[in-house]
Amino acid sequence: MWDPASYLRYSDERSRPFHDLVARVPARAPRTVVDLGCGPGHLTAGLALRWPDSRITGLDSSPEMVARAATLAAPVTFTVGDLHDWRPGPDVDVVVTSAVLQWAPGHERLLTRWARELPAGAWLAVQVPGNFTAPSHRALREVAGAGPWRAELLPLLRQAPVRDAAGYAELLADAGCAVDAWETVYVHLLPAPADADHPVLTWLEGTALRPIRAVLDDPTWAVFRAALGDRLAEAYPVRRARVSFPFRRVFFVARTAARAEENQ
Ligand SMILES: C[S@@+](CC[C@H](N)C(=O)[O-])C[C@H]1O[C@@H](n2cnc3c(N)ncnc32)[C@H](O)[C@@H]1O
């Protein structure tokens, strides 16, 4: 289950990749713009400011996230649904999906299908985290693999659910698209007050730790959480009441082939 409040704890840091992604989509007057995995919807609402004459829709599989999005006074239609089942209509000129496809096994097949099914000249803009070998995730795997919860947790931890930028560039170019792909490491300087949990632990609770929290009972979760907090404090030491948390992200913007001038 996704918790919008927990996810929004680091809203500024989590929003920036979305803005950096959409900044690379030069569509002028798209008919319909779809945000797949729109989460709490505030970023989707920003798409309505960028393209005020377009139909903007957001889709997310979490009813909690969509309920939160629906409270926004934005000219956007939000729907609960799974992106695996989504198919582009003939007027979808822009698809954005940011920090979502790492949760979607087999998303390469989806990407090539969307590239085939989208209208010619449409834009497909994707961002995924590229931090699965970072100290945060190594610590997560270590703690998960070293306790009584091992058998339950290890199958939940994905080793490499995403490609690098070159890998996606190749995939989408093979699917007939023009591709712009890149990677960025954001250095988040997270406040670390002495009386609060380690900020990387708090960050992970909004995302990567959700599947683990869902399968552990309360006492076991408390022990797991404390052990992980200790490992994270070693990996990301607090200095001057803050923690430096480098976070790699992978981006690509692909344009489906031919008749490109139609959607300029
Ligand atoms: C990390 S949040 C990203 C939210 C937003 N796109 C952003 O950039 O802040 C991931 C979102 O993807 C959604 N999600 C995960 N798997 C999905 C699926 N198969 N179909 C639709 N949404 C999915 C989750 O419910 C969650 O809201």
The residue to which tokens 């430096």 are assigned: 244
Spatial distance between the Cα atoms of 164 and 168, rounded to a whole number of angstroms: 7
Q: Is the pLDDT of residue 259 over 70?
A: no
User: Does the C-beta of 66 come closer than 6 Å to ligand 1?
Assistant: no
Q: What is the pLDDT of residue 258?
A: 56
Q: Which residue, judged by its Cα, is nearest atom 1 of ligand 1?
A: 99
Tokens of 117: 């099914």
Q: Is the pLDDT of residue 262 over 70?
A: no
Please give the mean pLDDT across all residues of the chain. Answer: 94
DSSP result, 140-160: HHHHHHSSTTHHHHGGG--S-
Number of domains within the chain: 1
- E-strand ranges in the chain read 32-36, 55-60, 76-80, 92-98, 123-129, 178-191, 242-255
User: Does the C-beta of 130 come closer than 6 Å to ligand 1?
Assistant: no
CATH of the domain at 233: 3.40.50.150
Window from 4-8, 184-188, 225-229 with minimum mean pLDDT: 4-8
User: Does the C-beta of 61 come closer than 6 Å to ligand 1?
Assistant: yes
189-224: per-residue pLDDT in tens? 999 999 999 999 999 999 899 999 999 999 999 999
% of the chain residues with pLDDT over 70: 97
User: Does the C-beta of 65 come closer than 6 Å to ligand 1?
Assistant: yes
% of the chain residues with pLDDT over 90: 90
Q: Which atom of ligand 1 is nearest to the CA of 104?
A: 19
119-176: per-residue pLDDT in tens? 999 999 999 999 999 999 999 999 999 999 999 998 888 778 999 999 999 999 999 9
- Which residue out of 20, 42, 61, 107 has the highest number of ligand 1 atoms within 8 Å of its CB and is therefore the one to mutate? 61
When pLDDT is averaged across residues 235-252 and rounded to a whole number, the result is 98
Q: Is the pLDDT of residue 260 over 60?
A: no
Q: Which atom of ligand 1 is nearest to the CA of 62?
A: 25
Range of the domain at 208: 4-263
Q: What is the pLDDT of residue 118?
A: 98
53-87: per-residue pLDDT in tens? 999 999 999 999 999 999 998 999 999 999 999 99
Q: What is the pLDDT of residue 165?
A: 98
